[in-house]
Structure 1
Amino acid sequence: MEFSKYLKKLREENKLSIRQLALYSNVSPAYLSQIENGSRGTPSPEVLKKLYKPLKVPYENLLRAAGYIDEEKKGPYNTNFNPLSEINELVEKYGIEQMGFFDIEEWKNLSPEDVRLIEEHFKMIVKLAKERNKKK
């Protein structure tokens, strides 16, 4: 399925107007409309990262639909996706003070979905730490 049609299908399945999706994703409604009507090319992975949560779909699914993931190779291609950079952003976002990469070559091979799972783990750690601090 062409990405423009896929985006519109997801938006409609979630009962979102273009304006609502724009508000939830911080992507301009004009840009979203252009993507859906096919007058704009495939959005960048950075834009897709803003869309996956309001569309309630894994980030990797959007990357795949946009052609950024090669099914044959089962990994990213034609993208600037950098797992180490993504994880470092998460470390900063969640205030994790110390983290090291053991066997860094393995970390470089993480998929966008792997990074999303790491973010879920970080959220849980932060939540548990806050609860523990409240009990003290």
Structure 2
Amino acid sequence: MENEATELGTFLGRVRRDLGLSLRTVEAETSVSNAYLSQLETGKIKTPSPTVLHSLAIRYNVQYEHLMALAGYPVPSATVNIQPSRVNDFAARLGDVSPDEEDALVEFLSLIRKRERGRK
């Protein structure tokens, strides 16, 4: 359970940062407190409620089933396979990447997004 909480927290933190959202922004948009979000991202919260995971899945545009699985809840594999998430599709296209490559990809995507925001 410890590893699942850490994996979920790491995933949630990465997605939030990739979207350029602060903890307070997510709090305002989901009604999940920024303190709770912080504890969730650091793995201090072991089993977030399905309601919290659903709110975050909607805001982060990730599959609810994926968050449920990361949190250690049983998820029928057929449901996950029928609707693969965009994140999983992207990861499958990339294949195995090193942590350094992953960081470089995130940084590159952030630069592209900043450039696009500057054009609007």
Task: Tell me which interval the TM-score lies in, with the shorter structure as reference length.
Answer: 0.5 to 0.7
Residues 71-114 of structure 1, C-alpha deviation per residue, up to 9 Å, x if partnerless?
xx526xxxxxxxxxxxxxxxxxxxxxxxxxxxxxxxxxxx59x9
Give unpaired runs (5+ residues) of structure 1: 76-110, 115-136
Q: Distance in 2 between matches of 1:38 and 1:30?
A: 12
Aligned ranges for residues 24-63 of structure 1 at < 5 Å?
24-63=29-68
**TM-score with structure 2 length normalisation?**
0.55
Aligned to 1:122: none
Residue 9 (str. 1) matches residue 14 (str. 2): yes
Aligned Cα root-mean-square deviation (Å): 2.5
Aligned to 1:74: 77
**TM-score with structure 1 length normalisation?**
0.49
* Higher-Rg member (1/2): 1
Aligned to 2:105: none
Q: Distance in 1 between matches of 2:45 and 2:71?
A: 13
Q: Distance in 1 between matches of 2:29 and 2:16?
A: 12
Q: Distance in 2 between matches of 1:41 and 1:65?
A: 11
Give unpaired runs (5+ residues) of structure 2: 1-5, 83-120
> Partner of 1:15: helix, strand, or coil?
coil
> Partner of 1:53: helix, strand, or coil?
helix
Aligned to 2:25: 20
Does the 8 Å contact 2:68/2:74 carry over to 1? Answer: yes
Does the 8 Å contact 2:46/2:71 carry over to 1? Answer: no
Q: What amino acid is aligned across from residue 66 of structure 1 in structure 2?
A: A
Q: What amino acid is aligned across from residue 9 of structure 1 in structure 2?
A: R
Q: Distance in 1 between matches of 2:66 and 2:19?
A: 16
Q: Which runs of 4+ in 1 moved over 6 A?
A: none
> Sequence identity, in percent?
38
